[in-house]
Amino acid sequence: MDRGNDHPAPAQAWLDAAAVLRAKAETLYRQRATCATTNPKPLSPQATAQLLRELQVQQIELELQYEELRNTQLKLDGLLAHHFDFYELAPVGYCSVGEDDLVKQANLTTASLLGLPNDELINRRFSHVIFKEDQDVFCRFRRKLLDAREPLSCDLRLHKRDGTVFWVHLATVVAPDETGTSLLRMVISDITERKQAEAALKQSEERWQFALESGGDGLWDWNLQTGAGFLFTPLQTNVWLYRA
């Protein structure tokens, strides 16, 4: 994403702001000038010098104030840029959901995970992006979270706009917003690859166990250090029971 499109360059922003302020000042000057007397009383040289000095001091004060405000604005721009990188472009999704199930805040990573524009995600029901078979899982998790009021986590499946289903880990805590309203603050991590690896490992273990149990030989594993035996096939177990 091109951050420059969302955050104008600070120098250009200040030039634009300065131009606007000057235009307002000139307008105000013309308005005040029309209200002044047409034949003002001439000032003495001393009064003129004093007035000029005061104007110069005021000009310097304004320049110092302007520079201070400009430096403050530059610092704020830096903080905004840091916030954008840290929050919006985080490797995990950040999402705040109200007790009414509506999404109140979400970073760009959350929107990307769901395949939705960020503005379409805000005020959308979070339950609408949960895979239908995991709706009950989220309902129980949400109820437990609101009752316990302590950090909890769970694994469930979400679906993208195009229907693609993927696994996520939700690390959630209940926290109030600036108005005191409770929000579910979620950290959403995509764990699809981990779940796929776990499923593949389980399938491999089941196939290996099936192969052992289907064979005609009795097999076991023996730990020579502890003397413990494990991974007995049914045939080997029957042999030992018969000998006993």
pLDDT at 5: 45
pLDDT at 150: 93
The pTM (predicted TM-score) of the whole model is 0.60
What does the DSSP 8-state code read for residue 132? Answer: G
Residue 10 makes CB contacts below 8 A (sequence gap 6+) with 73, 74, 77
Domain ranges of the chain: 3-88, 93-190, 195-243
pLDDT at 188: 97
Domain 93-190 CATH assignment equals 3.40.50.1580: no
Distance from C-alpha of 118 to C-alpha of 110, rounded to nearest angstrom: 8
> Strands 103-106 and 229-230: what pairing?
unpaired
* Cα–Cα distance list, 153 to 36, 115, 182, 188 (Å): 71, 23, 17, 10
pLDDT at 227: 62
pLDDT at 216: 54
Q: Count of CB atoms within 10 A of residue 190's CB?
A: 17
pLDDT at 84: 75
- Quick one: angle between helices 10-35 and 45-83, nearest 10? 150
pLDDT at 204: 77
Structural contact between residues 230 and 212, judged by C-beta atoms closer than 8 angstroms:
no
Per-residue pLDDT of the chain (244 residues; tens, 9 = 90+): 444 444 445 556 666 776 777 777 777 666 666 655 555 667 788 878 887 888 888 888 888 888 888 888 888 888 877 777 778 889 999 999 999 999 999 999 999 999 999 999 999 999 999 999 999 999 999 999 999 999 999 999 999 999 999 999 999 999 998 888 899 999 999 999 999 998 888 887 777 666 666 655 555 555 666 766 555 555 444 544 444 5
pLDDT at 16: 72
pLDDT at 61: 84
pLDDT at 240: 46
pLDDT at 3: 44
* DSSP H stretches of helix in the chain: 3-6, 10-35, 45-83, 108-114, 118-121, 135-148, 192-214, 234-243
Distance from C-alpha of 126 to C-alpha of 181, rounded to nearest angstrom: 17
pLDDT at 230: 54
